């Protein structure tokens, strides 16, 4: 019953995380687009009133006139009816932390710890998980304060440290958990930017304007810098969110390097769109991104086994392996603690089901070695090789 309840909590938290993430990223993308499309105000009176840029737009059957006041209106009081874009970010992070707790902390022995990587107790693994999120924010925030006036150097340094974090996490947790923790670190940085820099800076400016004082523009500049960082983080984080469905990207000794290259390609794509908002088209950016992704795909391509060498492996040799290492989860009635139903509905508890899912077994347990999750059932390399050879020989039944 406990596992069943956790499954429902997982579903609801994941749904909320998905919806909140759409809201947050959608608002972020829109405001970056809007900021880059603003034109100088057409009316001199608007400039005198503090308007720094404006945009006319049409959408959904109506016309919209956006005006930006960089430091608030000059000849009128600031409206009390202000919408603060913050709960989209907070809800995304809170639901993400709920998922981290439900999946990776409550199921640490299965989803977080891989004893072939590092033999940790659940308490130690959870402690490292939490510490990585806190340390990620502290290091990033310190770098922003030290290198904020040198954005290119800051960006390169943050990227290098996130790659180093990925490398370190791959030597602590299971591959999928390591991938997700890099995403959790970046997500924590993003929401902390909102909570500790962007919103407080905006509050200082609002308080100064309502007090009749000229606001200090520095909080606005600092908030803008962190907002720009957040928009470049979005595509790598979105990739990590979906990567769990594609174990060829995260599994293996060099999964951290795959993440580094794919994230770099994502940043290039995001930069292309930001430049395009300003009327600057740089086709080299997506071209380089595509080449990087193609290079990663080629590097990860599985090696084909020769059918001649594999033909000697019989089903009788592989059936006990599947029964002991795979079917404890992938069965009509799973026996693995914490598993209430066969993942993705894949059953491997009969010869016919094993043969039908032979290519899936090859992809998940042989080529990528993503299954069993965290290698919780202790599948050996020799067993993986034997499975691969049986499949390469045609996955024949007696």
| Residue 313 pLDDT exceeds 80 | yes
Residue 338 has pLDDT above 90, yes or no: no
pTM: 0.85
CB neighbours of 36 closer than 8 A, spacing ≥ 6? 274, 277, 278
Q: Over the stretch 138-155, which tens digit does the pLDDT of each residue have?
A: 999 999 999 999 999 999
> How far is 292 from 238, CA to CA, in rounded Å?
18
Q: Alpha helices, DSSP H only, in the chain?
A: 2-37, 44-48, 87-99, 122-147, 151-170, 175-192, 199-210, 218-243, 247-250, 255-277, 284-300, 307-310, 315-325, 351-356, 358-361, 381-392
Residues 338 and 109: their CA atoms lie apart, in Å, by 10
Instruction: Please report, rounded to a whole number, the percentage of residues in the chain having pLDDT higher than 70.
Output: 97
pLDDT score at 223: 92
Q: Assign 105 a pLDDT band (cuts: 50, 70, 90).
A: very high
Q: What percent of the chain has pLDDT over 90?
A: 58
Q: What is the pLDDT of residues 217-257, one digit of tens each?
A: 889 899 999 999 999 999 999 999 999 888 889 887 789 99
Q: Residue 293 above 90 pLDDT?
A: yes
Supply the angle between the helices 315-325 and 381-392 in degrees, to the nearest 10.
Answer: 130
**Per residue in 250-284, pLDDT tens?**
887 789 999 999 999 999 999 999 999 988 999 99
Q: Which range is most confident: 102-111, 232-241, 339-348?
A: 232-241
pLDDT of 194: 97
pLDDT at position 247: 85
């Amino acid at each position: 019953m406990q596992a069943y309840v956790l499954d429902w909590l997982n579903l609801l938290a994941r749904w909320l995380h998905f919806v909140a993430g759409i809201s947050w990223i959608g608002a972020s993308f829109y405001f970056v687009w809007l900021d880059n499309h603003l034109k100088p105000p057409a009316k001199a009176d608007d400039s005198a009133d503090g308007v720094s840029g404006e945009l006319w737009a049409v959408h959904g059957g109506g016309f919209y006139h956006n005006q930006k006041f960089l430091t608030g209106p000059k000849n009128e009081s600031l409206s009390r009816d202000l919408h603060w874009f913050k709960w989209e970010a907070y809800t995304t992070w809170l639901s993400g932390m709920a998922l981290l707790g439900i999946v990776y902390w409550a199921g640490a022995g299965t989803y977080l710890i891989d004893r072939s990587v590092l033999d940790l107790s659940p308490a130690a693994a959870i402690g490292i998980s939490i510490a990585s999120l806190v340390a990620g924010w502290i290091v990033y925030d310190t770098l922003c304060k030290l290198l904020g006036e040198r954005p290119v150097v800051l960006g390169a340094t943050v990227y290098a440290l996130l790659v180093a974090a990925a490398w370190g996490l791959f030597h602590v947790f299971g591959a999928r958990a390591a991938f997700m923790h890099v995403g959790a670190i970046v997500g924590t940085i993003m929401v902390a930017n909102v909570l500790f820099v962007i919103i407080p800076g905006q509050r200082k400016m609002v308080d100064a304007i309502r007090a009749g004082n000229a606001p200090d523009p520095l909080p606005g500049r600092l908030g803008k810098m962190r907002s720009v960082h957040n928009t470049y983080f979005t595509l790598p984080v979105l990739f990590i969110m979906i990567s769990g469905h594609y174990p060829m990207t995260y599994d293996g000794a060099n999964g951290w390097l795959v993440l580094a290259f794919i994230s770099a390609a994502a940043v290039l794509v995001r930069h292309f769109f930001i430049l395009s908002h300003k009327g600057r088209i740089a086709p080299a950016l997506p071209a380089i991104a595509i080449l990087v992704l193609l290079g990663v795909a080629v590097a990860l391509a599985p090696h084909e086994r020769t059918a001649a060498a594999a033909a000697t492996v019989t089903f009788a040799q592989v059936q006990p392996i599947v029964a002991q290492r795979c079917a404890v989860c992938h069965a009509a009635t799973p026996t693995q603690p914490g598993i209430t139903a066969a993942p993705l509905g894949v059953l491997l508890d009969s010869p016919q089901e094993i043969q039908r899912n032979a290519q899936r077994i090859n992809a998940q347990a042989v080529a990528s070695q993503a299954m069993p999750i965290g290698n919780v059932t202790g599948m050996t390399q020799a067993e993986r090789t034997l499975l691969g050879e049986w499949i390469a020989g045609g996955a024949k039944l007696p």
